Amino acid sequence: MGTALPHSDEFDLPTVNRAALLLTPTQAYADWANSCGDGPQFVLSERDDDDSTIYLIPEVDFRPDAWVRKHYRTLFEYELWNWCTDPSLWPKDRSYKAFQQFFTVHFHSLVADLGDEPIPT
């Protein structure tokens, strides 16, 4: 069980000095994933947020578009690798425009830590 939250109008929850980024695959990602071979099928309608990676990124005082644009290739290739570890089967076009076609980016500016233990590094 997690830490019991106080019954108060004021919460002093510990926060992590990071923002969070969630990439949601689109139909373009599903189409690519299903073209990779005889493995399991990627069915978009059967996916939920539990299947997505949450990336902690530096806190930013603005929308994270500039940060995402700078780091999209790492995010893109990590997500491709999560489905198919053979880079020869990855899309040849891994431009920022292709990244935007493969994923919807969700940004969360506040990350609260409700765990009982320190975050391992």
Contact 32, 102 (CB under 8 A): yes
- Domain range annotation of the chain: 16-112
Q: What percent of the chain has pLDDT over 90?
A: 43
Q: How far is Cα 49 from Cα 62, in angstroms, rounded to an integer?
A: 25
Contact 31, 42 (CB under 8 A): no
What is the arithmetic mean of pLDDT over 9-27? 79
- HSE value, Cβ hemisphere, 13 Å, CA-based, for 46: 5
Contact 19, 112 (CB under 8 A): no
pTM: 0.78
pLDDT digits (tens, 9 = 90+) for 32-77: 999 998 777 888 877 765 667 889 888 876 667 888 999 999 999 9
Q: What per-residue confidence (pLDDT) applies to 114?
A: 80
Report the mean per-residue pLDDT for the chain: 83
